[in-house]
Amino acid sequence: MIDWAGLVALARELPEFEESTSYGRPALKVRGKFFAALRTNPDAIVVRCDGEEKPFLLEARGDILFETPHYHGWPYMLIRADAPLDDIREFLTDSWLLAAPKHLAAQLETE
């Protein structure tokens, strides 16, 4: 199960990530924009997602992705904290790409 240190370690692979807070809990940001946080009850990682793709992602990856009523209608979803590390990395990177300025995101996509 991933913890804060593990999530930060994955974020180190992404340019200009920042450790910050969001609504009083530790969060990850890029240039001041939120892209991930840990939550409890249930243990999960909150990430940004494309609002139009969200229903399809939740259906296709219901084994690790879900939402609570709090996130219904918003472009955020939850990843189970016990999801495989490669899946967490993929959705964390996708979330970072949505939050990062376009020129910074393009830089990562060309690497």
Q: Flag whether 110 is in a domain.
A: no
Q: Flag whether 108 is in a domain.
A: no
pLDDT by residue for the chain (111 residues), tens digit each?
A: 999 999 999 999 999 999 999 988 899 999 999 999 999 888 999 999 999 999 999 999 999 999 999 999 999 999 999 999 999 999 999 999 999 999 888 877 666
Cβ–Cβ under 8 Å, residues 92 and 29: no
Report the pLDDT value the prediction gives residue 111, as an integer from 0 to 100: 63
Q: Flag whether 48 is in a domain.
A: yes
Domain enclosing residue 18, as ranges: 4-103
Q: What total number of domains does the chain contain?
A: 1
Q: Flag whether 43 is in a domain.
A: yes
How far from 75 is each of 28, 35, 58, 107, CA to CA, in Å?
16, 11, 12, 24
Report the pLDDT value the prediction gives residue 72, as an integer from 0 to 100: 95
The rounded distance, in Å, linking the Cα atoms of 14 and 8 is: 10
The rounded distance, in Å, linking the Cα atoms of 52 and 58 is: 11
CATH code of 96's domain: 3.90.1150.30
Q: Flag whether 111 is in a domain.
A: no
Decide: pTM greater than 0.85. Answer: yes
